[in-house]
Structure 1
Amino acid sequence: MKISYKPLWKTLIDKNLTKKDLRLQAHLTTNHIANMGKGEHISMQTLIKICETLNCDIADVIALVPDNDP
């Protein structure tokens, strides 16, 4: 299984926010945003900050997908 951040990008669109807005509001680094854009892992602490900032559930930020999915 791997992590997909597609739910996060959809949540940002639904809330009319940009990645830059998220970075500034959640006090994330540009590396956090870049890593998520590449589908790389980020810490649970960072995921919690994102959920608190967006006032959403973890399922609105990440999804688990099988390794053979594109």
Structure 2
Amino acid sequence: MAVTYKKLFHMLIDRNMTPAQLQQEAGYSANISTRLRRDYYVSLESVEKICRVLNCKVDDIVDFIPDNPEKEQ
């Protein structure tokens, strides 16, 4: 199963916040920012930091995509 953070980046646009500002406020590394942009897995700890800053839930910023959608149905 793959993951995407498109909802996170849409939320940042809606809140007029840059990824760099989020990184600074949440206190995670530039490596995590890169992983988010590339839709790579990040730790739950990092996701929790983001959710605290944005006052949102995990499903507000993360979507899980099945590797083979036909098998999931």
Q: If the length of structure 1 is used for normalisation, what is the TM-score?
A: 0.90
Aligned residue pairs, count = 69
Please tell me the root mean square deviation across aligned C-alpha atoms, in Å: 1.3
* Structure of higher CA gyration radius: 2
Q: Unaligned regions of 5+ residues in structure 1, if any?
A: none
Percent of aligned pairs sharing the same letter: 33
Instruction: Report what 1:5 is aligned to.
Output: 5
Query: Once superposed, which parts of structure 1, at least 4 consecutive aligned residues long, lie more than 3 Å away?
Result: none
**TM-score with structure 2 length normalisation?**
0.86
> What SS does the corresponding residue of 2:49 show, helix, strand or coil?
helix
Residue matched to 2:31: 31
Structure 2: segments with no counterpart, 5+ residues: none
What pairs with 1:44-59 in structure 2 (closer than 5 Å)?
44-59=44-59
